């Protein structure tokens, strides 16, 4: 399997003073170094993503789903993606509401696409958040990547915008290898036959 896949790295936190963009920038650097992706970072803070949803789910309303004008670019980027990395912190043992809202406003944008995780937080490094995301994404027919990067206590384990652990790029490469494989496999599969979702 070969070819360049379009990767969208989603910054999941939108809080003032957040650390998410630092992690996303490092992840984007690692993805670029991998060489198998066209990499774009999508920051949820830049889009209009209300918590109040329309009456129907995008699952049933399909292409006619009424999204805010300020979400159009986000939706187009998710539509065009072959693969995702969710960069997420841990808020009260889960992931931020901003990320859940972005997920819930969409449906086909996730279907039969792979999602990898880069998480960070306190002692657990965001692992609780990722467990919840896996559960949610399986409902949306996305495929989650087995290897993931979790950065516990990032406030003491990151320095100058990168993890102090010299092995981190090695782990990142393993994760991106798996993500690239799934991205190419599922892109081909989506092109060959409609997903029976």
Residue 86 binding ligand FMN, by CB under 6 A: no
> What ranges in the chain are assigned the alpha helix state H?
20-34, 58-61, 72-80, 97-104, 127-139, 154-157, 168-192
75 or 98: whose CB is closer to ligand FMN? 98
What DSSP character marks residue 19?
A: S
Whole-angstrom distance, CA of residue 120 vs CA of residue 126? 5
Tokens 């490092």 locate to 26
Residue 137, C-beta contacts closer than 8 angstroms, at least 6 positions apart: 103, 110, 115, 144
Residue 163 binding ligand FMN, by CB under 6 A: no
Q: Shortest gap between Cβ of 15 and ligand FMN (angstroms)?
A: 4
Q: Shortest gap between Cβ of 44 and ligand FMN (angstroms)?
A: 11
- Other Cβ atoms closer than 10 A to 2: 7
Whole-angstrom distance, CA of residue 39 vs CA of residue 27? 10
Q: Shortest gap between Cβ of 153 and ligand FMN (angstroms)?
A: 8
Site for ligand FMN in 1-20 (CB under 6 A): 13, 15, 18-20
Residue 161 binding ligand FMN, by CB under 6 A: no
Q: Which of 80, 93, 135, 164 binds ligand FMN (CB under 6 A)?
A: 93
121 or 163: whose CB is closer to ligand FMN? 121
Q: Which of 2, 92, 160, 167 binds ligand FMN (CB under 6 A)?
A: 92
Q: Contact at 8 Å (CB) between 120 and 127?
A: no
22 or 185: whose CB is closer to ligand FMN? 22
Residue 90 binding ligand FMN, by CB under 6 A: yes
The region of 47-55, 61-69, 84-92, 104-112 touching ligand FMN under the rule CB under 6 A is: 84-92
Residue 122 binding ligand FMN, by CB under 6 A: yes
Residue 60, C-beta contacts closer than 8 angstroms, at least 6 positions apart: none
β-strand partners of 37: 5
Residues that bind ligand FMN (CB under 6 A): 13, 15, 18-20, 89-93, 121-122, 124
């Amino acid at each position: 399997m070969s070819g360049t896949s379009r990767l969208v790295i989603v910054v999941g936190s939108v809080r003032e003073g957040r650390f998410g963009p630092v992690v996303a920038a490092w992840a984007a650097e690692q993805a670029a170094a991998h060489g198998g992706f066209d990499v774009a970072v999508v920051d949820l803070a830049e889009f209009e993503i209300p918590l109040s949803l329309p009456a129907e789910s995008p699952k049933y309303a399909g292409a006619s789903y009424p999204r805010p004008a300020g979400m159009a670019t986000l939706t187009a980027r998710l539509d065009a993606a072959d693969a995702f990395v969710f960069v997420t912190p841990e808020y009260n043992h889960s992931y931020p509401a901003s990320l859940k809202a972005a997920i819930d406003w969409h449906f086909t944008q996730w279907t039969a696409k792979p999602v990898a995780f880069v998480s960070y937080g306190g002692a657990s490094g965001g692992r609780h958040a990722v467990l919840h995301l896996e559960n949610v994404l399986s409902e949306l027919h996305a495929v989650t990547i087995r290897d993931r990067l979790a950065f516990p206590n990032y406030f003491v384990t990151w320095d100058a915008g990168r993890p102090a652990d010299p092995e981190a790029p090695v782990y990142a490469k393993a994760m991106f290898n798996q993500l690239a494989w799934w991205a190419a496999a599922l892109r081909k599969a989506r092109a060959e036959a409609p997903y029976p979702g």
